[in-house]
Amino acid sequence: MNMDDERNIPTVKYEPRLDMFASSIMGTRKYQQDSYACIETPAGSLAVVCDGMGGLEGGERASGLAVKTLLEDYITDSITDIKKFFRNEVKVIDNLVCRISDDNGRPVGAGTTIVAVHIDDGEMNWISVGDSKIYVIRNNELHCIVREHNYRLMLNSMYAKGEITLEQYRSEENKAEALISFLGIGNVSLIDENEAPLKLIQGDMVLLCSDGLYKSLSDERILAIISDNYFDLQRAADELTEAALSYSGRGQDNTTVVIVKYQ
């Protein structure tokens, strides 16, 4: 607390703080193919969620490799440009995941999504490949800031440009959920990232999640669970994953949630 000598008005210096909370469930699947990490260093805070895909343990290896590589490089590299770092990491991990092979040396064809945010000094940069999501919660409103990189994105674009008719769109809809961009695809090119850093304000929250969450819960429900547990966000994270399991119609995918609170 400082005293302003001229007017004797006490001032309080506001020092923002980041808190991070995570929860992950296997759902009704046989394997846990989601991986996540949150790390805080003097250079800033990094949070990442990866949702692996591929038979047997391929998905788990892919998502684990993605998170491990990102963490190791974040720790060891001297990062001056975080956007460039993210972009470069995506390409490196894409290459590494492509090369995941079985005991006989045969590629397993695994892949993984990735959503990652970096926050330093109140500024957030992010990157996304695949259909995991990043939401920003501000003033009790939920805003998704990334796209789902699935076939539906392509269909919507083609339909909007008039390249396909409505009937053609509908006939293709059954394949709409298929991913068209993920790490392990090789030469990954469809990447979502911020143009300019997002300036966070006190009270903002950032939610990273795999598709198991938003495919089971509506945005309204997600927001309700977070605001109902505003004072205990670990409980919010746990309730989100539990609710995804309870409210899913048939079978529940692996579900991972990371909540970052800026206060």
Partner 1 sequence: MYYCIYCMTEIPEETKECCPCCGAARSNYKPPEGLLRPESLLCGRYYIGRASRSDSSGVTYLAYDTVMSRRVSLRQLTDFGSDSYRKYDHKERFLYTYRTLAQIDVSSLPVVYTCNVQGEVVYAVSEYISEHTLGAYISDTGRKSYEAAKNLMLPIIVALKLMHEKGICHGNVRLVNIRRTDKTLVLCDAAGTAGASGEKSFSDDIRDFLRCFVSVLGGYPVMADEQTVNELLLKNEPGLPDEALECIRLAFENEKTNITADIILRAVYKCTDIALGRKSEEKKEPPKELLELASRSGVAVTRLITSLV
The single residue among 29, 31, 68, 158 that binds partner 1, judged by CB under 8 A, is 68
* 236 forms part of the interface with partner 1 (CB under 8 A): no
| Range in contact with partner 1 (rule: CB under 8 A) among 41-49, 117-125, 164-172, 207-215 | 41-49
Q: Binding partner 1 by CB under 8 A: which of 24, 113, 125, 216?
A: 24
Between 35 and 150, name the residue whose CB sits nearer to partner 1: 35
Nearer to partner 1, 75 or 144 (CB): 75
CB atoms within 10 A of CB 201: 12
Q: Min. distance of Cβ 166 from partner 1 in angstroms?
A: 33
38 binds partner 1, rule: CB under 8 A: yes
| Among the listed residues 225, 233, 244, 257, the single contact to partner 1 using CB under 8 A | 225
Count of residues of this chain found to bind partner 1 when the rule CB under 8 A is applied: 33
Minimum gap (Å) between residue 261 Cβ and partner 1? 13
Quote the least distance from Cβ 39 to partner 1, whole Å.
5
Report the residue from 27, 35, 128, 182 that binds partner 1 according to the rule CB under 8 A: 35
Among 37, 134, 154, 179, binds partner 1 (CB under 8 A): 37
- The residue within the footprint of partner 1, chosen from 224, 242, 245, 248 (CB under 8 A), is 224
| 3 state SS for the chain | CEEECCCCEEECCCCCCEEEEEEEECCCCCCCCEEEEEEEECCEEEEEEEEEECCCCHHHHHHHHHHHHHHHHHHHCCCCCHHHHHHHHHHHHHHHHHCCECCCCCECCCEECEEEEEEECCEEEEEEECCCEEEEEECCEEEECCCCCEHHHHHHHHHHCCCCCHHHHHHHHHHCCCECCCECCCCCCCCEECCCCEECCCCCEEEEECHHHHCCCCHHHHHHHHHHCCCCHHHHHHHHHHHHHHHCCCCCCCEEEEEEEEC
Q: According to CB under 8 A, which one of 3, 40, 163, 263 is a site residue for partner 1?
A: 40
Q: Which of 144, 201, 232, 263 lies at the binding interface for partner 1 (CB under 8 A)?
A: 232
The set of residues, in sequence order, having a beta carbon less than 8 Å from that of 185 and lying 6+ positions away, is 94, 98, 111
Minimum separation from the CB atom of position 218 to partner 1 (A) = 8
Identify the bridge partners of residue 16 per DSSP, sorted by sequence position. Answer: none
At residue 111, what is the residue type?
G
The residues of the shown chain that bind partner 1, judged by CB under 8 A, are 20, 22, 24, 32, 34-43, 64, 67-68, 71-72, 75-76, 220-221, 224-225, 227-232, 235, 256
